[in-house]
C-alpha cells in the first residue's frame, strides 16, 4: 500500500481502516483500487480549492472600502468555509490557512468599525472571534476536520472505531464535538466493540484506556444519567 505523506480526507479514512481490528475482525487490507480512487478524489478537491481560493482572494481585494455589511458578511462566511475545507485537503495547507486567517481578521476589523461604539455589537463580535478560534483549533486535528466536512468519508458506523483508533490529540479534540447523549451512544458502542474483540481473542489493552476516557468525558458533559449500557 502506497499511502501519501500528507493525505486528504478520503485517503486518511482508508488509512484508519487499513488492517485495523476496530473496523473488522480479522483485520482487512484496503484494496489498492480503493486507495487510488481516494487519492484521485482528494486531488480533485485540492484543485477545486486552489481555483476557488484564487477567486476568493481577488474578491477580497476588489471589495470597496465602503462596502455594506451584507457583502462583507458574505465574504467572511466564504473565507471561514474555505478555511474548514483547507483543513481536510492533501499536502501542506499552512500557507493557505494563514492567508485565510489574515483575511478573516481584516474582515472582523471592518465589522468592528461598522458597529462603532455599540457595546452589545462589540461583545457579539468578540464572542464570535473566540468561538472561531476554538473551532479552528479543533480543525487542526485531521479527525475533526474529516468529521465536520459536509461530505465526510466517516460513516455513522465508522465513528466509534475512528475515535478509538485516533491519536491522543485527535481523540481529545473530537470528544469536544459531542454532547452527553451522543457520548452515551459512543460509550455503548465502544463497550460492545471491546466485548466482541475480547471474545475473539483480539488485543484490547489500548481500547480500555480510551473507554475510560470516554466515560470521564460523558460524566463531564453531564450525561452520566443518560440511559446507556454499563
CA–CA dist 55, 40 (Å, integer) = 23
Question: What is the pLDDT, as a whole number, of residue 229?
Answer: 37
Let me know the angle formed at the C-alpha of 12 by 7 and 13, rounded to the nearest 5 degrees: 160
Write down the pLDDT at residue 201. 87
Q: Are 78 and 56 in contact (CB under 8 A)?
A: yes
pLDDT for the residue 1: 64
pLDDT tens digits for range 9-46: 999 999 999 999 999 999 999 999 999 999 999 999 99
- Could you say which residues of the chain have pLDDT below 70? 1, 223-230
Q: Taken in order 87, 93, 98, 103, is the CA torsion positive or negative?
A: negative
Query: Which residue do the cell numbers 468519508 mark?
Result: 153
Alpha-carbon dihedral sign for residues 94, 131, 81, 12? positive
CA distance 120 to 7: 43
Max distance between CA atoms of the chain, in angstroms, equals: 68
List the grid coordinates of 36: 487510488
State the pLDDT at residue 223.
Answer: 58
Q: pLDDT digit string (tens) for 185-212?
A: 999 999 999 999 999 988 777 788 889 9
Residue that has been written with the C-alpha cell 486535528 in this structure? 141
| Contact between 184 and 226 (Cβ < 8 Å) | yes
Domain boundaries defined on the chain: 9-140, 156-220
Amino acid at each position: 500500500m502506497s499511502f501519501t505523506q500528507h493525505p486528504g480526507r478520503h485517503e486518511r479514512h482508508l488509512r484508519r481502516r487499513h488492517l485495523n481490528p476496530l473496523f473488522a475482525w480479522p483485520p482487512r487490507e484496503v484494496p489498492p483500487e480503493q486507495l487510488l480512487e481516494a487519492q484521485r478524489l482528494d486531488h480533485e478537491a485540492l484543485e477545486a480549492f486552489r481555483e476557488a481560493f484564487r477567486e476568493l482572494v481577488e474578491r477580497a481585494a476588489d471589495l470597496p472600502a465602503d462596502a455594506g455589511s451584507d457583502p462583507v458578511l458574505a465574504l467572511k462566511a466564504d473565507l471561514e468555509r474555505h478555511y474548514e475545507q483547507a483543513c481536510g485537503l492533501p499536502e501542506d495547507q499552512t500557507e493557505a490557512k494563514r492567508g485565510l486567517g489574515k483575511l478573516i481578521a481584516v474582515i472582523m476589523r471592518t465589522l468592528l468599525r461598522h458597529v462603532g461604539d455599540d457595546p452589545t455589537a462589540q461583545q457579539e463580535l468578540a464572542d464570535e472571534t473566540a468561538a472561531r478560534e476554538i473551532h479552528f483549533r479543533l480543525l487542526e486535528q485531521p479527525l475533526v476536520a474529516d468529521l465536520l466536512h459536509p461530505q465526510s468519508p466517516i460513516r455513522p458506523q465508522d465513528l466509534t472505531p475512528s475515535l478509538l483508533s485516533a491519536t491522543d490529540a485527535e481523540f481529545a479534540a473530537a470528544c469536544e464535538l459531542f454532547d452527553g447523549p451522543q457520548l452515551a451512544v459512543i460509550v455503548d458502542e465502544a463497550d460492545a466493540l471491546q466485548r466482541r474483540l475480547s471474545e475473539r481473542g483480539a488485543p484490547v489493552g489500548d481500547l480500555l484506556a480510551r473507554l475510560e476516557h470516554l466515560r470521564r468525558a460523558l460524566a463531564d458533559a453531564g450525561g452520566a444519567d443518560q440511559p446507556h449500557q454499563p
